[in-house]
Amino acid sequence: MNFQKICVLGLGYIGLPTASTFATNGLRVIGVDVNPRVVNTLKNGQIHIHEPGLRTLVEAAVKSGKLTVSPTPEQADAFLIAVPTPFLENQDEEYEGRKYKLADMRAVISAAEAIVPCLRKGNLVVLESTSPPRTTLDLVAPILERSGLRAGSDFFLCYSPERVLPGQIMRELIENARVIGGVTPESAKAGRDLYAVFVKGEIIETDATTAEMVKLMENTTRDVNIAIANEFSRLAEKFGVDVWEAISLANRHPRINILSPGPGVGGHCISVDPWFFVEAAPELTPLIYNARRVNDEQPHFVVQKVKQAVGDLSGKRIAALGLAYKPDVDDLRESPATEVVHILQNEGAQVKVWEPFKPNAVMEGIDMAQSLDAALLEADLLILLVKHTEFINFDPKAIAAKTTARLVVDCVNGWDAGSWSKSGFQVFRLGANKLP
């Protein structure tokens, strides 16, 4: 199939790089977003998200006249949906005492509805948003069929998961293998023809529900694997073992690869997507459910660790290092570090946070320091929450000169306990001290 013009609905971390890449590869692209701020920013030649290499690409796409932005879609050969799919806040359901979260599919529904008046025979529609199993067949197809056309026979319909790593999106979009699930084999073939415009990685055709499961299985596997590492950290403390040493020894086994424990799991993918399985089949997902719970409880375990170091938290001054959901990124969404800070504060501690990747972030109820020194100055304890490269390169002697604190809680195995001890700190490491 030959594509001349496409509409990309949703111009965020996924949609904007995708739209721009199609445009710089010669397609006429209408980028659609319901947020007027996004549309205006792009129309003014600016971009609203931070991703290395994206600005240059968007500039090239706009300059060539191939990428234009609009609040509404128009007739095209293909439509891509890359809108958010978070979970609904405070609307949990319950199955046999297990409370689980529900996917918020409102953006996917409204994007599909917006396509209906533009849809013509022979068009292709691709859902890229991470979605619960059977969304393409049971939610998106019936909406699009309000056009009077039938999915699979009058128009092609696919699900294609996005698996790019923030920070590497521009490269991975092109080089990663891409799974394309069609509601019919002909739909998958049409999807292949579209992505072959720029994808250099392998393109694999399958059915739509398999493609939806692939994405959820990837993120759920990571969540469950991190949960077992977190549970090992608790067991190691109970038995007086250093979990980091134990993991590195276990990983010498050729078929074992245990991940690292930490203060929890965050971000908008791994801590969200497993819920889509639980919602779709709560009776079949006790393991996935419990892994989510273990990871969500880990910030409380970390706070117990702080209490072990400093005793009663009331009035204690704590310098928290890092707030991002993972090392060396500026993304604070669903961050477990934020949860740790809130719990410490609820127990009476005064916490100052230093996040070098977003020093000016405004976070409700969180005291962001304007510099590392301001966070450290009058602290009783330092807590390392994120393994930013900048933090793990700290010289403990230099830090000792900047702070009154002599207690350190390291939640990510970022610091060498020996050299911090030599510099006058008493070091407590997650998964490495015996609980009293």
Ligand X SMILES: NC(=O)c1ccc[n+]([C@@H]2O[C@H](COP(=O)([O-])OP(=O)(O)OC[C@H]3O[C@@H](n4cnc5c(N)ncnc54)[C@H](O)[C@@H]3O)[C@@H](O)[C@H]2O)c1
Angle CA(397)–CA(403)–CA(406) in degrees, nearest 5?
A: 75
Of 5-13, 61-69, 147-155, 374-382, which part binds ligand X (CB under 6 A)? 5-13
CA–CA–CA angle 286, 288, 291 (5° rounding): 105
User: Nearest residue to ligand X, using CB?
Assistant: 12
- Mark whether 118 is an active-site residue: no
Quick check: helix, strand or coil at residue 181? strand
Residue tagged active-site, from 66, 215, 305, 326 = 215
Residues 103-122 within binding reach of ligand X (CB under 6 A): 107, 110-111
Please tell me whether residue 385 binds ligand X under the rule CB under 6 A: no
What tokens appear for 30 in the block? Answer: 């209408």
Interaction mask 253-272, ligand X, x per CB under 6 A: ----------------x---
Q: CB-wise, 83 or 246, nearer to ligand X?
A: 83
Cα angle value 169/278/168 (rounded, 5°): 5
The only residue of 3, 6, 7, 13 in contact with ligand X, by rule CB under 6 A = 13
Element (H, E) at 81: strand 78-81
Binding mask 22-51 for ligand X (x = CB under 6 A): ----------xxxx--x-------------
Q: Taking the alpha carbons of 240, 412, 340, 347 in that order, is the dihedral positive or negative?
A: positive
The nearer residue to ligand X, 35 or 248, going by C-beta atoms, is 35
Q: Report whether 163 contacts 215 (CB < 8 A).
A: yes
Minimum CB distance to ligand X smaller for 269 or for 366: 269
167 lines the binding site for ligand X (CB under 6 A): no
Task: State whether residue 187 is helix, strand or coil.
Answer: helix
C-beta of 165 vs 256, nearer to ligand X = 165
Q: Distance between CA 60 and CA 426 in Å, rounded?
A: 54
Instruction: Give the residue ranges of DSSP H helices in 207-268.
Output: 208-239, 243-250
Q: Catalytic: which of 7, 158, 269, 411?
A: 269
Instruction: Print the SS3 string covering 364-383.
Output: CCCEECCCHHHHHCCCCEEE
Question: Quick check: 381 and 402 in contact, CB under 8 A?
Answer: no
Name the minimum Å distance from CB 14 to ligand X.
Answer: 4
- Give the whole-angstrom CA distance, residue 9 versus residue 30: 9
DSSP state of 137: I
Cβ 134 to ligand X shortest distance, Å = 16
Pattern 64-103, ligand X, x by CB under 6 A: ------------------xxxx------------------
> Under the criterion CB under 6 A, does residue 129 sit at the interface with ligand X?
yes
Q: Is residue 10 near ligand X by the rule CB under 6 A?
A: yes
Active site residue 158: no
Contact footprint for ligand X (CB under 6 A): 9-15, 32-35, 38, 82-85, 107, 110-111, 128-130, 162, 164, 166, 269
Catalytic residues: 215, 269
